Amino acid sequence: MRRGRTSILTGALVAFMGASSPALATDTGLIFVSNERSNDIYVLSPDYELVTKIETDRRPRDMHFNAAHTLLYVACGDDDVIDIIDVATLEVVDAIPTGPSPEVFAFSPDESQIYVSNEEDSTLEIIDVADKIVTARIPTGAEPEGVIHSIDGKTVYVTSEVADMVHVVDLASQSVVKNIIVGTRPRRFIVTPDGSELWVSDELSSEVHVIDLATLEIKEVLTFLPPGFRPEDVTPVGMAITKDGSKTLISLGRANHVAIIDTASRNVLSYVLVGSRAWSVDLSRDEKTAIVANGLSDDITIIDMGSMKPVRSVPVGRTPHTVVIDD
């Protein structure tokens, strides 16, 4: 494990921090990118200059801030831990042990628990954050990945990549109460802001399934085809949605585009060309900018949401997985 070993680009960091390091505690505008193969987090300034590289445990993937944005949690799949980074010091300060190969996780609404998919032992693990102990292990289909909870916090949804299912987990009984068959190799989720729909990206069937959360039935199946690509090139994975729910962004993997969709009509407003194997996508707080992690070109793409066009690409580490913005 590599706790606390942070490589600092001294000049850039000093210039960014100025004289007052406590200002880094929250709302910094820093961009964090996890890199699976270089085992680090690239930290970029709001103008996309490299501030530092934070060494983590092996294979950092999914990342989430706590609500206060004082801590950043990183699932490290090859060392079976979730590393904890202090956002003020940009150092790994602690870690939470998990089951084998944690991939994606979500906090409970009160942040007292973490729900994490353990890819290798096919379980959804529930971990007490304060005590760092596992309180429940719920069996899922093989290779669980996506994890998200309902707006009321009573239900967790988990994808199984091999079973082609969404598992509906009731937290009160800590059991799977329904399995929903979706497309091939389901990966990630979004819940619409009104809590009415669950969107599921299906990587190998080139689809997004829309599930009605009132009935837990499939409501619609969306497909995408950027100009010049074959259907089998379209491998949707990461998604993001605006706060008002009006626009949804879907990274299309090997199709090297992000689809920007009118959520209500399902019409594609734009196919935005990005890097190779578009994976994760995040929106800035003002929603003027989207940032996409491109897993095979080892860079991120910055999208201007007004024009819905790419404006810049920035190199990062090897095989970027997730991008999050501290704003």
Q: What tokens appear for 250 in the block?
A: 């879907």
Q: What tokens appear for 1 in the block?
A: 């494990």
> For the CA atoms of the chain, what is the radius of gyration?
19
Instruction: Render pLDDT for 165-200 as a digit per residue (tens, 0 to 9).
Output: 999 999 999 999 999 999 999 999 999 999 999 999
Residue that is written with structure tokens 């202090």 in the block:
86
Domain range spanning residue 302?
227-327
Residue 248 within any structural domain of the chain: yes
Instruction: Render pLDDT for 215-231 as a digit per residue (tens, 0 to 9).
Output: 999 999 999 999 999 99
Q: How far apart are the first and last CA of the chain?
A: 29
DSSP string, 137-160: EEE-SSSEEEEEE-TTSSEEEEEE
Task: Count Cα neighbours of 235 within 13 Å in the Cβ-side half-sphere.
Answer: 17
Residues 6+ apart with CB under 8 A from 151: 191, 195
| 9 pLDDT higher than 70 | no
Residue 312 within any structural domain of the chain: yes
pLDDT score for 27? 77
Residue 184 within any structural domain of the chain: no
Distance, in Å, from the CA atom of 92 to the CA atom of 209, rounded to the nearest integer, reads 37
Instruction: Render pLDDT for 64-97 as a digit per residue (tens, 0 to 9).
Output: 999 999 999 999 999 999 999 999 999 999 999 9
Residue 323 within any structural domain of the chain: yes
Which amino acid belongs to residue 261? I
Q: What tokens appear for 327 in the block?
A: 């704003």
Instruction: Render pLDDT for 133-173 as a digit per residue (tens, 0 to 9).
Output: 999 999 999 999 999 999 999 999 999 999 999 999 999 99
Task: Count Cα neighbours of 134 within 13 Å in the Cβ-side half-sphere.
Answer: 16
Residue that is written with structure tokens 């024009």 in the block:
307
pTM: 0.92
Residue 22 within any structural domain of the chain: no
Residue 288 within any structural domain of the chain: yes
The mean pLDDT of 120-125, rounded to a whole number, is 95
pLDDT score for 26? 61
- Specify the CATH number for the domain of residue 322: 2.120.10.30
Average pLDDT, the chain: 93
pLDDT score for 4? 44
Instruction: Render pLDDT for 201-211 as a digit per residue (tens, 0 to 9).
Output: 999 999 999 99
Residue 317 within any structural domain of the chain: yes
Instruction: Render pLDDT for 273-319 as a digit per residue (tens, 0 to 9).
Output: 999 999 999 999 999 999 999 999 999 999 999 999 999 999 999 99
Model confidence at 1, pLDDT cuts 50, 70, 90, reads very low
Using an 8 Å Cβ cutoff, are 254 and 234 in contact? yes
Residue 219 within any structural domain of the chain: no
pLDDT score for 21? 40
Total number of domains in the chain:
1
Residue 2 falls in which region: left (phi positive, over 0), alpha (psi -120 to 50) or beta: alpha
